[in-house]
Amino acid sequence: MVHVPDGQDKPYRANSRVYVRIDREVHEATREEIGQLMFESGRVQYERLPVPDAKFVELDDALVRGYFEDVRHLLHPADAAERMRLLVNLGFAIPHASHVVPTVAGLLLFGPRPQDRLPAATLKCAFFYGRHLGAQLRDRADVVGPLTRVIDEGAAFVARNRRLVPRMEGVRRVDVPEYPDYSVREAIANAVAHRDWSLEGAKVRLFMFDDRLEIWSPGKLPPPITLERLGYDQFSRNKVIARLLVELGYIEEVGLGIRRMREEMASLGLPEPEFREDGFSFVITLRSIATREGVTVPADLFRALVERGEINERQHKGLLHAQKHGTIARREYVALTGVSERTAANDLADLVRRELLEPTGGWVGGLHTDCATSPTENRAGIVHWAARYLHDFGRQAADHHWSGATVTAGNSSGMNEMIELRSTEEGDMATQEASDKKPAGMQAGKRYKCAQCASEVLVTKPGQGTLCCCGEAMQQK
């Protein structure tokens, strides 16, 4: 057997064409795949690309001023053209279509909220009961802002949820944090600094469990770095971002931070940090020195949202109903809370925006149609509102089995809107339970009518599920 090391000058061509292998199959590379190969090889630096829709003024002047004066020890140029020239020279801005716009690096570092343009810059944090992804949540946070704030608030999330474990050193008691400050901060900073930003749909994810902390960074290690050489070889995928974070003291020079993490963990008698590649992600794991035992999951996980002012008491009642029964229809919400149908629709829509409920029905006449499933139906199938306290923290597509039916809905006033119906099998990170009975399939080209309000729908894409309106299943015409 001949071992051929992975090349560093991708993409390679054969007969002027580029090919990629997926498992045992080889096919000619698409334009997107060729671009990804070039990003992976470092021949194209994604962080230096323009953000076309952004404007130069979106770079926060206070952040830029602080960088020039406190880090570079330069006077902040009063002239706008001079500031623009300096930021272009440093890789934070670039001429594009007769204008100067922020680069990806510039917006990430100096944009007050870069996630509005670059959603992948959000840090997803979740603290789970138990040791497995998909258990109920203790705490969660979506951290936004410039990368420096993301690092700070990510570290604060760990600090407020970690334990101090007492240990005896001689006759003295010493409280040791299960995840020490430097190692946590370095792991988060490395994840955002060295991730593959060309993976636009992937976010850095921070998961806390009873026995460990995991930080998932999109993108494998860039060549020539290998798992065996971590902490020894030096290479940065994002040189502009890494340089600024080094200047601000958020990360060490490339390679040194990993070594200091190992040294800190060892000095406190903690397990050595673990590093691995999992799919397209690089994962850092810090093991806890003492697992949480005898923890009871609170019966009301939503009360904290009321206390923080994120939801009102009506919505709290609705969430508890959905948690108990698996679904909640608009009319059920009206009966439960005594509000009007319009207020019920607004309350439920707000819970959907907060990702506490998942809509799978459609909008008819400005209000969401009722779709209350019976206890015998598959509650992980087509439902009106699926109770979902557990949020989408980087779920992999392979963990779910979605099928959908797209229909066009109409009412007597002639309004037409697109409805996307989705169904999932058991395995979704949701609180509803799935029965063994599959919902009936919906056939493309068929019309369905509500016997109560006479609304009609036309199925334009086949899928699994039951279309409901006014609390009843719609009948095929």
Residues 274 and 326 in one domain: no
* Alpha-carbon gap, residue 457 to 421, rounded angstroms: 12
Residues in the chain, total: 477
Indicate the DSSP class of residue 115: G
Domain-embedded: residue 14: no
User: Does any domain span residue 245?
Assistant: yes
Q: For residue 224, say if its preceding peptide bond is cis, omega within 30 degrees of 0.
A: yes
Q: Dig out the tokens for 363 from the structure.
A: 């909008």
Instruction: State the CATH number of the domain containing residue 199.
Output: 3.30.565.60
Q: Rounded to whole angstroms, what are the CA distances from 130 to 136, 209, 388?
A: 8, 6, 18
Question: What is the β-pairing status of strands 281-287 and 172-177?
Answer: unpaired
Residues 222, 340: one domain?
no
User: Would you say residue 347 lies in a domain?
Assistant: yes
pTM, two decimal places: 0.58
Tell me the pairing of strands 212-218 and 204-208: antiparallel
Query: Both 130 and 260 in a single domain?
Result: yes
Identify whether residues 95 and 149 lie together within a single domain.
no
Query: What's the angle, vertex CA 136, arms to CA 134 and CA 139, rounded to 5?
Result: 110
60, 80, 106 — which closes off a domain? 106
Clarify whether residues 151 and 238 are in a common domain: yes
- Residue 32 token pair: 């997107």
Which CA distances in Å does 200 have to 34, 47, 235, 289? 16, 12, 22, 35
Count of domains observed in the chain: 3
Q: Which H or E element spans position 436?
A: none
380 lies in the same domain as 445:
yes
Return per-residue pLDDT of the chain as tens, 477 residues: 555 555 555 566 666 676 766 656 777 777 555 555 555 555 568 999 999 899 999 999 999 999 999 998 888 888 889 999 999 999 999 999 889 999 999 999 999 999 999 999 999 999 998 888 876 788 999 999 999 999 999 999 999 999 887 776 666 777 888 999 999 999 999 999 999 999 888 999 999 999 999 999 999 888 778 888 887 777 788 999 999 999 999 998 766 888 999 999 998 888 999 999 998 899 999 999 765 654 455 566 678 788 878 899 999 998 888 877 778 888 889 999 999 988 988 888 888 887 787 765 544 333 443 333 222 222 222 222 233 322 332 332 222 222 233 333 333 222 222 223 332 222 333 333 333 333 345 666 677 776 765 666 666 556 556 666 555 677 787
Is the same domain home to 269 and 135?
yes
Task: Indicate if 147 and 278 belong to the same structural domain.
Answer: yes
Amino acid at 327: T
**Phi–psi pair at 354, nearest 5 degrees:** -85, 0
| Domain that includes residue 456, residue range | 303-393+401-476
196/256 same-domain check: yes
